[in-house]
Structure 1
Amino acid sequence: MRPIFAAICLFLVSPALAVADDPYTILGVSIDATGSNALDAQTIAMRRGQAMAAQRLIERMTLPEDRVGTPLDFGSAGAIDSIFDASAIAELISGLQIDNEQRSATRYLGELDVNFDRRAVVRLLTSYGVPFVESQARPTLVLPVYEAGGQFYLWDQNPWLSAWTSRSYAHALAPMIVPGDSAARSILSARDALALDEAGLREMASLYGVSRIAVLRGQERDGVRRMGGFLVSFDAGAEMAVDTWGPETVYGSWRDGAMSFVVGRENAWKREAIVRNTSTEEMRITVIYGGLTEWQSLQAAVTGASLVSDARLDAISRDGALMTVSHRGALEQLMSELAERGAALEEHPGLGWVVRSAF
């Protein structure tokens, strides 16, 4: 792995990629270009790679229908490098890094990781009036079960699991976690996962600190790959909730199937979370907690929510606090974002709007 420095050329804008699981990072952009000499090939490859990363980021943060009629409608306006020049794209970037670098006298190849400046991206999207999502969904633990010859595999002999571990989905709008340590192996078998063994799934959720698990079954017959399964969620004080997902045909490799699932979850989250009403509303909330640690966690969930523009602490006691919160978007969107951050916003018959731990 090799950091790229700005001194090389105009397009190399930052010394290294910041390590952060945020949605403004695009990983694994393949670059390959030829030129009249080695530097020319590298410059062309980097310019194309940064443009592809910028387009992927904008497509990640927005919905296609919201880009229609703007220069960001890549379907009709063309790729982003035909709309903006290289210097405009470079202004969106805060850091980058290159992996698997190969070069010759006239060719340059590699994989590019690009970290974008959130403020610059927000300015660009706002200038064109394109609504965008402002926060990630809560992480999902993925259990990929592979069926072959009437047998089911979760931990070994599992190309479906290998597809998930071959790349990171921590930067996605719908972040995915793939288990792999010895502790996880001792908790669930493939058949336990498919049978939705509640005790085992709850233990896995606790081990990885999540409240959602996707049990995804993959099988290949006569050269056709299919995937489907269950989306399991655990909320505070509630029974295990299960939704069926799929089945769907996998077009391409198992890795393509994994990406298809992630993109589908991202699109579902965008349709739920994108704010179209930008007016600000004010509300009083009571935060209920059992101790200092829980209070600090709930306070961080409220004050750190992207929809919350201001949060004032009005009073505090050993087991509760009063806050005045200003927020954008619909109340349902605020409730959804807080739930993703581990805080449940609900109406109490005596206290009004209260916030408590979601799980």
Structure 2
Amino acid sequence: MRFIIAALSLSLACLPAALADDPYTISGVEIDATADNALQAQTAAMGQGQAAAARRLIERLTLAEDRVGTALELDSRLSPEGEMETGLTLDPVIIAEMIAGLQISNEQRSATRYLAELEVTFDPRTVRRVMEAYGVPFVESQARPLLVLPVHEGEGGFSLWDDNPWRTAWTEQTFDNALTPVLVPDRPASSVRLPITPRQALQLDEAALVNTASMYGINRIAILRAGERDGVRRFGGYLVTVEPTGEIITDTWGPQVVYGGWSDAARAFVTDREDDWKRRSVVRDLETTSLRVTVLYGGLEEWNRLQEALSRASLVQGAQLDALSRDGARMTVDFRGAFEQLVSELAERGATLEEHPGLGWVVLSAR
């Protein structure tokens, strides 16, 4: 492979923050405060909303055991004086500095009361500085999206595409900003054949699963069967990965008893996936390591995909493009965390990092 030395450098650390901003948006924050006048009520409500959004962000990005004993601890605890303190003692000024933008909806106000709903966007760089200042490891990026097929078992049998309480529990919520984004497919138009039936899903029909993955452009599928018997609600199912080769890799999940409604069950599933992603991806080693890699590709489209995989990897702090040819590039990649974490995160983004004789470490499209 002939390389043309390029007088070009690529700094992934300088790519737009929007590439990895999704986990930093907290939506659906309800605020409600009463005071002596409307302005005081609105000010109090906004302060409460910002703190609630910060709490949800910290809970999303970190593990509970890493927050213990810091200002980012969310659970109530006893103070040195023996008094009970509420969780998150982070200074409101610091919280305000972390916020990049606010969107307000559903406002209601009176002379003494203010109600609204907030969507709060945090600045990743400021959040990173706060986390590092308190020594709390955190996750900065999302896993690949997961397509959920909510199969409900009712008196009339199994349903997936038709309205059912299990499907409604998913469609009435949004998990786009979760560390593990979850999507529920819309029912295709009546003129389009359904990619998979409830029974095909439960039987793990490989052709139907490959068809579904192709139709929605997502290669990770959760088939979650839910039902109620003797007054007890349960759900569980399969986690499926469709490899580029068409191979199906399957793991089981649950079953789990539902405490609360079906919406609570959906949130519990996403929280479980987030915790799993955090335990695999949280960065504990903040030192930067340099790695020389060869990126192999068969054309411009594949080269762009591999660049995107690297740019979206939160562990990659920067990359220098050292040489370029029609079918490969040599780069120096600077990353944080353990090498195994880098391999895992790139795999989540469709790129394989492996060692090849003669080329050393190679980045190529997952097979």
C-alpha RMSD of the superposition? 2.1
Contact 2:161 2:187 in 1 (8 A): no
Partner residue in 2 for 1:153: 159
The CA distance in 1 between the partners of 2:360 and 2:278, in whole Å, is 29
Q: Distance in 1 between matches of 2:178 and 2:311?
A: 22
Q: CA deviation at 1:19?
A: 12
Q: CA deviation at 1:21?
A: 6.3
Q: Does the aligned pair in 2 maintain the 1:138–1:175 contact within 8 Å?
A: yes
State the AA in 1 paired with 2:260.
G
Change (3 A) 1:20 1:303: closer
C-alpha distance in 1, partners of 2:187/2:231? 31
Describe the shift of the 1:62–1:256 C-alpha distance in structure 2 as closer, same or farther (beyond 3 A).
same
Displacement, 1:317?
2.2
What is the rounded CA distance, in whole Å, between the counterparts of 1:311 and 1:235 in structure 2?
28
1:92 alignment counterpart: 98
* Structure 2 residue identity aligned to 1:245: W
Counterpart of 2:149 in structure 1 is 143
* Mapped partners of 1:350, 1:181: distance in 2: 50
- Matching of residue 231 in structure 1 with residue 231 in structure 2: no
SS in 2 for 1:91: helix
8 A contact 1:21–1:170 mirrored in 2: no
Once the two structures are TM-superposed, the CA of residue 350 in structure 1 deviates from its matched residue by 4.5
Native 8 Å contact 1:55 1:79 kept in 2: no
- Render the CA deviation track for 1:165-202: whole Å, top value 9, x for unaligned: 11211100001111014168721111111111212211
Letter in 2 for 1:177: L
Q: TM-score, normalised by structure 2?
A: 0.87
| SS across alignment from 1:290 | coil
Deviations 1:247-283 (A, max 9, x none): 1111111111111111111110000001112222222
Distance in 2, matches of 1:142 and 1:134, equals 23
Question: 2: distance between equivalents of 1:194 and 1:33?
Answer: 47
2:30 and 2:311 map into 1 onto residues whose CA distance is: 38
The alignment covers a number of residue pairs equal to 341
Give the SS at the match of 1:294.
Answer: helix
In the aligned structure 2, how far is the partner of 1:21 from the partner of 1:188? 33
What SS does the aligned partner of 2:283 have? coil
- Partner SS, residue 59 of structure 1: helix
Matches within 5 A, 1:96-115: 96-115=102-121
Relative contact order (C-alpha < 8 Å, sep 6+): which is higher?
Answer: 2
State the one-letter code of the partner of 2:234: R
Which residue of structure 1 aligns with residue 28 of structure 2? 28
CA contact 1:286–1:320 (8 Å) conserved in 2: yes
CA distance in 2, matches of 1:275, 1:38: 44
What is the TM-score of this pair, normalised by structure 1? 0.89
Q: Aligned-pair distance for 1:80? A: 5.3
Shift of 1:79: 4.0
Which of 192, 202, 206 does residue 214 from structure 2 map onto? 206
CA distance in 1, matches of 2:31, 2:137: 30
